[in-house]
Amino acid sequence: MTNQYAIYRVNLLTDAKNLWHKSFEQVRKERLPITVDLYRQIQILFSKKDESVMDIWKKTREITEVSDVIVQNRSGEISCFYVNEDAPRRITGFIRLNPSGALITLDTRDYQIEGYEGSWMAADDMIIDGRQFFLMEHQDFHRQAAMIILDSYGRKVVEECKEGFNQEIKEKIYAFLQSQEKKRYPGKEQRNRLEFWQKFFENGHYERSWESGMEVNYDAIDGCVNQQKNNPGKAFKDPKDRSDRPRKKTSVIWKLHQKQIAIAKRSGKPIPRYLEQQMVREKV
């Protein structure tokens, strides 16, 4: 939800040298691609919440040049603008997320939408909260027919759109994002979480975290684990009682040495020196 903007400049070490200092009209006429991989970031700064791209352009005119790109982030909404001589012009496709499994990109054409006739194409896009949404336009009727908003996976977000990404459409996109978030964390899981924390804070003591597993009643949490006689709990156990402690494993090497000593004694052969030293250590 940060408000900031970044300025990108043509990277002359790439094929973007054809874009250098060209006006927006020339770029459109020559159909030159404008993508972030052809640019390099030269500055990134915070901005005010209500600051428009025109305000940013005016205060950065001394450092920006024609063919630069201003990328603005307004509370999670990403918009890109090509710096022209007279004013910045909004562009699409500068940043392309292309998540894994995506069905739609800005190059999508001849797309079939369930419940709608004809073929559709991506005419515009917007990035909101790290998700990319596309304005789908009918390939035959174009803006004469109502447009549709889809996400990159082809899910319908807005069924009828007449004016592009206006404020009303943005609110519907936010509602869609909230519904997707609820699907990830359904109400049942949320209730279970609330019930857990309600029990945890019911008594107000940290002892609950280790007593609740042994105590018969929640209202008996007092720093001593379960005072019932039939279930004394760990607090009343004799610390010298080692019956439930894991037994120490016998060394395989020690067993081998004991076997060698026994064989040497039976056969009447002398016991090796290193085994004699071990026998002395064990007696000590």
Q: Would you say residue 184 has pLDDT above 90?
A: no
pLDDT of residue 245: 62
Q: Is the pLDDT of residue 197 over 80?
A: no
pLDDT of residue 111: 94
pTM: 0.59
CA atoms within 13 A on the CB side of 211: 23
The residue ranges of every structural domain in the chain are 4-91, 120-184, 188-236, 252-283
Helix H or strand E segment including 259: helix 252-267
245-269 residue pLDDT tens: 666 666 777 777 788 788 877 777 7
Where does residue 38 rank: exposed (0-12), middle (13-18), buried (19+ CB within 10 A)?
buried
The C-alpha angle with vertex 172 and arms to 168 and 176, in degrees rounded to 5, equals 165
Predicted pLDDT of residue 161: 87
